[in-house]
Amino acid sequence: MTEKNPTQSAMDKILQGEVKQIPRWHFVVKNIVLWSVGFLCIVAGALTVSLVIFTFANSAFVLRDISKHNFFQHIMIVLPLLWIIITILFAALFDIFVRHTKKGYKYSLWLIVLVNMFLSVIVGIMFYFFGISHVVDDMMNTHFRSYHSVEKRQAQLFNNPGKGVIIGHVTKCGDEYFTLVTSDNTQWHVIREHITEFKQNKISDGQRFVVIGKVIDQGVFVACDIRMRGMSGSNRQLQRKRMEQVHENNFVDVDSHKVRFGQIPQNMDVMIQEACVHVQ
């Protein structure tokens, strides 16, 4: 018995009604779904790109000499490894979905990759400048304690009182001192007399600074120098909300520490002056 030709066998099945034609709408819907998912992959990828940009923009490499970390340590703290991995994942998903669309197989893999990267970067830059990456970073920090937000990364770099460096927002200014609150809501009363007049004029409520100096008492810090450390790509509404929370959680009056400031031992004052000479 001779075997049937595969083509003839297929034609026989069609003529006998054993093979049903798939409706055109099925392919149309499938194509729409695939492109929609691909579009969502682009948006999600752009968002993760914006978070990578946001993290690196606030990596504070220019202040690495103050952070007391070497280059490798600094990189390991600021590297947004999570967002880089997720960006690659969404890029791969986009490529898979596009290649399964109608005529998607005709596009070369490199073309799809380049288009994906281009769109993700362009939209990601837009998300960064509109402050969307800052909002997502803050949401992740609120809902996941183990998540390393940009503010946590900067605190890890610069919030080290024992080594003479703290970072935070100014919540109250005085002629001789100002109050600074760190990301973990620790309140410091900072003596400002050793800071240059030019930099003292920059101190105002709501500003964010890295302060270099020395701890002289519990909650009291003498500043030898300050460096402004704003948040690049920040969301203004979120910044205002953060400052409101800081003010609500920290209500100790700086004036209550006047007695403590007046009781600084003379030898301590000499040590502070010597330390400040080295900083400046």
pTM over 0.85: no
List Cβ neighbours of 126 (8 Å cut-off, separation of 6 or more). 46, 50
pLDDT for res 165: 92
- Distances, alpha carbon 148 to alpha carbons 8, 12, 13, 153, in Å: 64, 64, 61, 6
List Cβ neighbours of 219 (8 Å cut-off, separation of 6 or more). 187, 188, 189, 257
- What tens digit of pLDDT does each residue of 45-58 get? 999 999 999 999 99
- According to CATH, the superfamily of the domain at 159-279 is Nucleic acid-binding proteins (2.40.50.140)
Structure token digits, residue 201: 């004029």
pLDDT for res 2: 52
Residue type, 102: K
Q: Lowest mean pLDDT of 18-27, 119-128, 211-220, name the range.
A: 18-27
Q: Which of 274, 180, 162, 171 is nearest to 227 (CA)?
A: 180
pLDDT for res 134: 93
DSSP 59: S
Percent of the chain scoring above 90 in pLDDT: 16
pLDDT for res 74: 87
- What tens digit of pLDDT does each residue of 200-258 get? 888 888 888 999 988 888 888 989 889 888 888 888 888 777 777 666 665 445 444 44
Structural domain boundaries in the chain: 22-143, 159-279
Residue 170 bridge partners (DSSP): 180
Distance, CA of 75 to chain centre: 14
Q: Say whether pLDDT at 24 is over 70.
A: no
pLDDT for res 55: 92
Distance in angstroms (rounded) separating the CA atoms of residues 105 and 108: 8
- Distances, alpha carbon 94 to alpha carbons 84, 169, 265, in Å: 16, 41, 66
pLDDT for res 41: 85
pLDDT for res 215: 87
- What tens digit of pLDDT does each residue of 138-168 get? 999 889 888 989 988 998 889 989 888 999 8
Mean pLDDT score across all residues of the chain: 79
pLDDT for res 15: 55
Looking only at the bridges linking them, the beta strands covering 187-191 and 165-173 are unpaired
What is the rounded average pLDDT of the residues 262-278?
57
Q: Which of 81, 45, 74, 55 is nearest to 234 (CA)?
A: 55
